[in-house]
A = this chain, B = another copy of it.
Amino acid sequence: MPVNLTPPVAAQLLPVSGITLGIAEANIKQPNRKDLLVMQLCAGARVAGVFTKNRFCAAPVIVAREHLAGTDGIRALLVNTGNANAGNGEQGMKDARASCAALAGLLGCKANQILPFSTGVIMEPLPIAKIAAGLPAAVANMCADNWLAAANAILTTDIVAKAISKQVVIDGVTITITGISKGSGMIHPNMATMLGYIATDVAIAQPLLQIMVNEASDRSFNCITVDGDTSTNDALMLIATGKSALSEVNASDSEAAKILQAAINEVAIYLANAIVRDGEGATKFITVHVEGGKSNAECKKIGYAIARSPLVKTAFFASDPNLGRILAAIGYAGIDDLDVNALKLYLGDVLVAENGGRTDSYREEDGQRVMQQSDITIRVVLNRGNAEATLWTCDFSYDYVKINAGYRS
């Protein structure tokens, strides 16, 4: 079950002026399930995104990148679940383009003004006829209040929908940010089997929009892991409709940009954490904070060695403070000049290890007490610099194996 993650409530999700959302049942993988989302954008809306670095990236990723590079302006996003359209060779490319053309026909725009996204099983042909047949219904029910339905429509093995809204005041104008995401397994940067869409009504210059989505991604979706597997389809999109009264934000060092970036990061971190909290089989949510490093990169390296270790993750599942496994993971992280005698390891508020071994003050019952909690922080203090990194992971349970040995995802 998801760890301390409550389903979003429709009333708390705020429309973003300039965006309407429509959903439909297209029977892509199974019947009686909303599996198609159309997100229509007003003219003049800008979109920037980051995509998976997987070399086997899916056809829709290639097409979306291509369309984003164009100058006609993006008018809609099309998301299907149930099929990833990945590993489908030339036919996959044709199908991704055909899905854009089908939606463009309905919306009266060009195919290259549509961004396609797919998630689900890999290496199965995309049922393009079903998608085309489902689109009219999605277009017919488009409205600005459909964020919760949209968050539900993009799920695969997720249990809980992921969505959040946030408002901040900039120069006296209240601006809105609303985001949704999906992802549960195959979660590891760069990035996750995860789709994320964050929209704001602010006008943001295109170059700054790209900077902002990169930054938000680096602080959130690129800091989570469930199983270390990186998907073929990952994408995070940041949409700026420009419908608010605030004048265009274009300088990254402006006060407005800083407030906006912080708020977008917060939304992105919530959405990324929600993916880990809903990680396949997760029973514990674990924050790994590494500080005192020489660089952010080495802190992340150590953090990921801990966060990915099946031995660490099964120990957390068992609530067993078998903390030597964390030391072992730090040791194999690949930091060749790491002085293991200089670091300190904390579990929650409990100092566990220093001077290369367990600290004298450590008591098994203290470790046990922290291990019983469902939200746990591992803190590693390297004492060799000022850099830090925070990552998020979950434990590794019977249910992870059950889900992934049973479900052709």
Contact = CB atoms under 8 A, between A and B. Distances in A.
A115 interface: no
Interface stretch (A105-113, A254-262, A288-296, A392-400): A392-400
A264 to B, nearest CB: 26
Given A55-B332, A89-B356, A353-B87, A122 B325 contact: yes
Contacts of A398: 398, 401-402
Interface residues on A, range: 35 or more
Contact of A310 (B123, B232, B340, B404): B404
Contacts of A308: 228
Interface stretch (A3-11, A195-203, A245-253, A312-320): A312-320
A328 interface: yes
Contacts of A325: 122, 229
Contact of A121 (B228, B309, B324): B324
A356 B86 CA distance: 9
Contacts of A396: 401
A238 interface: no
A228 B331 contact: no
B55 A331 contact: yes
Interface string A219-263: 000000001111110000000000000000000000000000000
B229 A311 contact: yes
Contacts of A335: 55
Contacts of A356: 56, 87-90, 92
Contact of A401 (B89, B229, B314, B324): B314
| Residue from A231, A317, A328, A330 whose CB has the most chain B CB atoms within 10 Å | A328
A54 B397 contact: no
Interface in A367-384: none
Contacts of A84: 324
A357 interface: yes
Interface in A296-347: 308-311, 314-315, 317-318, 320, 322-325, 327-333, 335-336, 338, 340-341
A167 interface: no
A53 B308 CA distance: 18
Contacts of A88: 356-358
Interface of A: 53-57, 84, 86-92, 121-124, 185-186, 188, 227-232, 308-311, 314-315, 317-318, 320, 322-325, 327-333, 335-336, 338, 340-341, 353, 355-358, 396-398, 400-402, 404-406, 408-409
Nearest to A338: B55
A124 B57 CA distance: 46
B358 A328 contact: no
24 contacts: A54-B328, A55-B335, A55-B338, A56-B328, A56-B330, A87-B327, A89-B356, A90-B355, A90-B356, A91-B357, A122-B324, A122-B325, A123-B353, A123-B357, A185-B311, A227-B311, A228-B310, A229-B310, A230-B328, A314-B405, A315-B405, A320-B408, A398-B402, A400-B401
Contact of A320 (B228, B328, B405): B405
Given A86-B324, A123-B358, A230 B55 contact: no
